[in-house]
Amino acid sequence: MPSSPLRVIIPIFPEFTALDAIGPYEVLRMLPDTEVTFVAKAGGVVRTESGVVGLHADASLDEVGSADILVVPGGWGTRALTRDEEMLGWVRAIHETTQWTTSVCTGSLVLAAAGLLDGLDATTHWSAVETLEKLGARYTAERVVRQGKIVTAAGVSSGIDMALTLVGLIAGDDVAKAIQLAIEYDPQPPFDAGSPAKAGEEIIALNATLRDRRTVAAPR
């Protein structure tokens, strides 16, 4: 008998960051014998933090009781989720069934609020470090941090790195490399300002100004 496909579950919620969910999705959907499902409190379209882009959730939380891989994206909306016992209870229950529990950006705040990162090394968006540590994790300034079956990724674009790392662990490096080639993930950024250490104080201040105007997506 053929084995069941690997089930990847990505919960989405109001004001999530689009790339946090779509980056891992584009990688993991190409993993052989894998199905990816977006879930939300209720099925239907859920809007990102821009309010313009939306993704369709094909299932509600109460319709999904297990997963092989859980991917929790980040975004403005994670602050509310850290106090949302319905979502936190669901995350805890799903984590009990997973082979891998993962997060992108401030999705790690949700894992931490659920008690899954207590005393563990983890990463998040650079602007949310203090919040992550208050929730019980030990911040580690790396793009991808693995602690047993829990894998956290830093801000937004690092979700692709996390997903490729996961594919390598599941299916081997060659499969991960083939998927990396398929999405032509060959970073050559025009500017070397992708971390606070590289950007400098002036750019950090400009980022804060743009974020306050909500013209640049970043977690609060």
pLDDT tens, 131-176?
A: 999 999 999 999 999 999 999 999 999 999 999 999 999 999 999 9
Host H or E run for residue 79: helix 78-81
> Could you tell me which residues are beta bridge partners of residue 15?
none
Mean pLDDT of 183-187: 97
pLDDT at 1 over 70: no
Contact 58, 10 (CB under 8 A): no
- Domain limits, the chain: 6-187
Rounded distance, CA 148 to CA 191, Å? 34
Q: Give 50-100 pLDDT, tens digit per residue.
A: 899 999 999 999 999 999 999 999 999 999 999 999 999 999 999 999 999
Residues acting as catalytic residues: 105
HEC secondary structure over 153-203: ECCCCHHHHHHHHHHHHHHCHHHHHHHHHHCCCCCCCCCCCCCHHHHCHHH
Given this model, what pLDDT does residue 118 score? 98
52: helix, strand or coil = coil
- Closest by CA to 123, choosing from 140, 110, 100, 135, is 140
Given this model, what pLDDT does residue 213 score? 58
pTM: 0.93
Rounded distance, CA 14 to CA 22, Å? 15
- In this structure, whether the domain defined by 6-187 belongs to CATH 3.30.430.20 is answered with no
pLDDT at 2 over 70: no
